[in-house]
C-alpha cells in the first residue's frame, strides 16, 4: 500500500512538471521543500517559493509540445513516513535525473527535497 501511494504521488509529480498545474504543484511539493543542483561549476539552491514562481512564469512543456518520458529508476521506502526515489524524465529538451526525498505529512506524501541534474539532451 505504501509503495502504491508513493508511486501515485510520483506520477502526479511527472504530470506537474509537464503541465505546471500550480494546484497540483502545491500538493506534490511540501511548502518547506528545497531544490538543489550542481552542474558546470554552478551550485543552485531553490526554495519552494522561488521554484514555484519560476514554474508559474514559464510556458509548460505541454504548451510547447515537448516530448515526454518518465521513469521511476528506483524507490527506497525508509519507513511508513519516509522514502527516497530516483527518477529520470524529459523536461523540455532535457533529460533530467532527480533524487527525491519524500515524507508523509498529515496523511499525504510530498517532496521535501530534490537534487536534480541535467543528464543530457532529449533531442
Number of domains in the chain: 1
| The model's pTM | 0.94
Domain that holds residue 30: 2-121
Question: If the chain, 123 residues long, is cut into consecutive pieces of 10 residues, what is the mean pLDDT of each piece?
Answer: 97 97 97 94 95 95 93 98 98 96 97 96 86
Which pLDDT value is given to residue 76? Answer: 98
Which pLDDT value is given to residue 39? Answer: 87
Q: Nearest 5°: phi and psi at 95? A: -100, 120
CA–CA separation, 123 vs 112, rounded Å?
Answer: 31
CA–CA separation, 23 vs 40, rounded Å?
Answer: 33
CA–CA separation, 112 vs 103, rounded Å?
Answer: 7
Amino acid at each position: 500500500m505504501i509503495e502504491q501511494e508513493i508511486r501515485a504521488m510520483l506520477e502526479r509529480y511527472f504530470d506537474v512538471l509537464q503541465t505546471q498545474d500550480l494546484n497540483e504543484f502545491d500538493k506534490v511539493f511540501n511548502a518547506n521543500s528545497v531544490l538543489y543542483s550542481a552542474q558546470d561549476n554552478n551550485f543552485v539552491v531553490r526554495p519552494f517559493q522561488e521554484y514555484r514562481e519560476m514554474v508559474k512564469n514559464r510556458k509548460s512543456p505541454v504548451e510547447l509540445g515537448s516530448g515526454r518520458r518518465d521513469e521511476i529508476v528506483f524507490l527506497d521506502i525508509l519507513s511508513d513516513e519516509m522514502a527516497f526515489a530516483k527518477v529520470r524524465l524529459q523536461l523540455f529538451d532535457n533529460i533530467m535525473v532527480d533524487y527525491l526525498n519524500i515524507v508523509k505529512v498529515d496523511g499525504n506524501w510530498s517532496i521535501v527535497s530534490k537534487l536534480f541534474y541535467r543528464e543530457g539532451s532529449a533531442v
